[in-house]
Structure 1
Amino acid sequence: MRSRLRYGAVVTALLAALAAAVIAALGLGSVAIPPGQVVDALLPGAEPSPFRTIIVDVRLPRVILGAAVGAGLAVVGAVLQSLVRNRLADPFLLGISSGASTGAVLVLTLGIGATTAVAMPAGAFAGALGALVLVYALARRGGAMTGARLVLAGVTVSYILTALTTLVLVSSARPEHFREALYWSLGGLGSARWDSVWLPAAVVCAAGPLLFALARPLDLLLVGEEDATVLGLDVARFRAAVFVLVSLITAVLVAASGAVGFIGLMVPHAARLLVGATHRALLPVAALGGALALIVADLAARTLAAPQDIPVGVLTALIGGPLFLWLMRARTERGAAL
């Protein structure tokens, strides 16, 4: 009973904080709008006004994209950490995001259907899936796959794909591709528009319940592959299917926002501290925490150096990098394996 009350209090607090962050993100900027007018502008049948235009047409798509990307990356990070039984895993450390970036940049520079809404996500998905297959193959080569081998293979592939992406951009015949793709690769929500928000939002809304439905087999993986097999789980098939699913989610998010790092690594850790490791409790809290974290980070990115819009991926890296090093040190001091 006490655990349910605690979980309800955590979810309620996150929902309240998320609502406050949304109001702040819609109201703060080059034009400050009072919270009351923000709420009025969002109500159905609100009268047209300059404030409403700024909120609905400019800031609201950015907030929705931030919520979708933050929630999606946090949930994907929590799932990946369970799949590989390594708390340091996330889409970036396993090379998925680098592969997605490479695929999306190839579509952008080669002009392969770049005018369509699904061209870059399709290229990003192909790159993410290819990177994941390569990482998985390298981690299994020469012995049993361990969490440490998987992370090391992911870091190696990420460096190679990052170099390949840079080579493609430098070799592009059109200099504007380099500038556009460089800013995009740093991670940002400034390009959010209503016609580009629907795909990542729809993917996260569809994939979230699906991953939540997989909570029980994900819990089984936490006790070990052998025990999970004894309990009736086809570990290899389940892991492969979920890898493909999280690659698809990551690809769509990366295509929409660029490389926003550390959300998928740090938010699941914070969620576990609050509600434990059981996935039925963990995944909703991770989704709310990820949405809250990225909306707040994006608000800081576009107001700290206004009118300059700092890429939000730069800010999350500046915050997440030291936290990641602290986490590695804490695990080492406890004698925990990577």
Structure 2
Amino acid sequence: MSIQANNPHQILSAGLGWTRLEIIFWLALLLPFVLTPSYLSLASQIAITALFAVSLDLILGYAGIVSMGHAAFFGLGAYTAGLISKAGWGEPLTGLVIAAALAALVGYGMSFIIARFRHLALIMITLGLGLLLHEAANSASWLTGGADGLQGVKIRPLFETFKFDLYGTTAYAYSLAGLFLMFLIARRLIHSPFGLALRGIRENWTRMPAIGADSQAHIRKIYTVSAAIAGVAGALLAQTTETVSLEVLSFQRSADVLVILILGGAGRLYGGIIGAIIYMVARDQFSGVNPQYWYFWIGLLLIAVVILLPNGILGGLSRLTVRWGGTWR
């Protein structure tokens, strides 16, 4: 193999190309508009959950930062979008930008603490952040609605034309567009020298400074980006459902997105999307059969995946799909 072929910049640039399998995958996400129009609301929820999973994968799968309270940024984005709507500014795109900015600001502040710790201490810090914001939202009932949730959220039609209604057509198109745009940003980051440095930090945090990489600065940057994307996901949920409940800040939501990444495969951006599709569809079907014990079946599915496919479902699929146009990026 030539030296030129081993050039890191060429390898990273090659990763930015789209494989045939990726193109087919994104086109397939348009099929619900035609094949299952009655399930577009569920499809919208899947797209939002997938975006949330992608945000966590940036710090967990690529930088090795385990977060047990990532719903803090999701909920922050949801409440931001809901509150500015109640204040009279219901334009959806502006709401997304403001939610992302506020989540990024809080994430940036937290990143100075996150970048200093690893392992168990890091888990406890992120868990504490999530619980803190959840309790704050519950206590500030005059602002958030407390346990009753934030009611009266009114979102204006998208581009003053497309209304958010019970059919879910606009909601799914809007959520899918948000997922795709944020995915492009995440993909560009991962297939860059910055993304390569993140992988190095994940593998050996203490040795990266020896080659000139500032581990703490890189962690602060990716944590801020991850928080912003999670905020966008939360804002999408608030805007498409026109309500915000305390559940958006719950530990359950943080735990669910971890389960999704384990199912799909962490360290692969598509793993979060695949995991979200499988998890949300399974939850919808299992809860329909047995509303009280549906999580039992999710647990069995998780155990089976961990035992049979330790790299996640996408890791197993990747070995089978190389012949169909290359691996997943």
TM-based fold match above 0.5: yes
Choose the corresponding residue for 1:257, options 229, 234, 237.
237
**Take 1:318 and 1:101, find their aligned partners in 2: how far apart are those partners?**
29
Tell me the residue number matched to 1:223: 203
1:117 and 2:110 aligned: no
Secondary structure (helix, strand or coil) at the match of 2:70 reads coil
Distance in 2 separating the partners of 1:196 and 1:270: 26
Alignment of 1:198-209 (within 5 A): 198-209=173-184
Q: Gaps spanning 5+ residues in structure 2: where?
A: 1-20, 154-164, 239-247, 307-329
Q: Greater shift after overlay, 289-298 or 190-199?
A: 190-199
From 100, 115, 118, the counterpart of 1:146:
118
DSSP-derived class of the 1:290 partner = helix
SS of 1:225's equivalent in the other structure is coil
The aligned counterpart of 1:97 is 74
Name the amino acid aligned to 2:206: E
Q: SS at 1:121's partner residue?
A: helix
Are the counterparts in 2 of residues 267 and 286 from structure 1 also a CA contact under 8 Å? yes
Cα offset, 1:82, TM superposition: 4.0
2:273 aligned partner: 287
Q: Distance in 2 between matches of 1:264 and 1:201?
A: 18
TM-score (norm 2): 0.58
Output the aligned Cα RMSD.
Answer: 4.4
Question: What are the Cα deviations for residues 62-86 of structure 1, in whole angstroms up to 9, with x where unaligned?
Answer: 2432332232222222222146524
Q: Is the 8 A contact 1:112 1:119 kept in 2?
A: no
Higher relative contact order at CA 8 Å, sep ≥6: structure 1 or structure 2? 2
Amino acid in the other structure paired with 2:81: A
CA–CA separation in structure 1 for the residues paired with 2:125 and 2:198:
23
Equivalent in the alignment of 2:51: 72
Structure 2 residue 83 is the aligned partner of structure 1 residue 106: yes
Return the alpha-carbon distance in structure 1 between the equivalents of residues 294 and 217 of structure 2: 37
CA contact (8 A) 1:103 1:125 kept: no
Distance 2:114 2:232 in 1: 25
d(CA) in 2 for partners of 1:219, 1:138: 20
- Aligned equivalent of 1:270: 263
How far apart are the structure 2 equivalents of 1:91 and 1:179?
Answer: 24
CA distance in 2, matches of 1:287, 1:171: 33
Identity of aligned residues (%): 12
Q: 1:235 to 1:101 in 2, by over 3 A?
A: same
- State how far apart, in whole Å, the 1-side matches of 2:94 and 2:141 are: 18
Whole-angstrom CA distance in 2 between matches of 1:81 and 1:116: 33
